[in-house]
Structure 1
Amino acid sequence: MDIFSHPELVSGSLANIRDKYLSAVQTETPLEYLRSHINTELETGNPPLLYNDFLKTRTLLPEVMNILPNSMQFDQKRITHEYTEIPAELIHKVRFTARDSNNTELLNIELNTFELSNKQVVITYEPETVEDQNIINSYRGLDNTPAYLVRLRPVLKVNGERTAVGKDGPADGRRL
């Protein structure tokens, strides 16, 4: 219902509502002022209508799409296995290995790939012993420490948490 199509419901002052609102300082918002003004006009005319009766509303009708078929899209020839959980031999895995220049294994771990999904996986290095850490601290950081003074061991971190720590680090600053 359009309030302007029924001039008998409100007086002609509705056309000047903007000027009335702007003529003085108001505590109400323009919408609150309009709502109270229209409700006042409707109450004086005694029709059984309120401001909310003039608001246009729309109801969405639910639409049944029937996109998913009620049967399989292929013919089932035979069922080979049914599981309550995925067996270990069907779970995808990833192996992380770190070796030194002599092909000695320093780090070797196998993890399920689904456990690594959407996580940060980093192979980093840390001092092998407390003494190595003290040497790094005395030189004020690893960048300033001579490579032959410390041993670093590989560390696998998943989301910042240590998952695997290498056995040894290469001696005398040798390459991994």
Structure 2
Amino acid sequence: MMRFKSISLSMGLTLVGGAALLSAFASAAHAASCRQWDITGSWTIEQTNGFLVDLKLQQDGNDLRGTASFTTSATDTGTGNLDGSIDGNSIQITIYWGGRSGAIGEYKGTINPRGRLEGDTFDRMNPVSRAGWHSLQTGGRCVDSGVTPQSAPGVPVPVTPKEPDLRKGLQKPGKFFQQ
């Protein structure tokens, strides 16, 4: 009898573990299919050329507005206004930096399934000045995935396994499975 309970417990744990794994796949598919993100709020992006850029974003539908500031050292700072757009997981932001340089930063990128911003930038006034960038945090929020766990294509919905009936399959004392 002890062996049968051990086998049943093992099968139950395997089913529960499999259901948890399928649930994780369903969550990943859900996040990857986001049709509309909300990236309102404060973001810090790090550029590959050493600049740290702080963004304060307001989002209205697909339109972005806000302010930006940057630092490279204690004496090299700047501020500017920005506008842009968001379409699915694609973002485009233009920052009009004030000050003597008159630089206009073009930022194009994507929002990854975990809500992190990443992409490339260049200075419209000096197009050879380019850098990669990424946000230091994940803060994007999916507001329209268009997919429910029941309709995720190709991902089965996890089912909670039923308790096994320990009496089934017994022919006589000492036998564990029906032949």
- Shorter-chain TM-score above 0.5: no
- TM-score normalised by structure 1 residue count: 0.19
- TM-score normalised by structure 2 residue count: 0.19
* Higher gyration radius (CA): 1
Which structure has greater strand proportion?
2
- Greater relative contact order (Cα 8 A, min sep 6): structure 1 or 2? 2
Which structure has greater helix proportion?
1
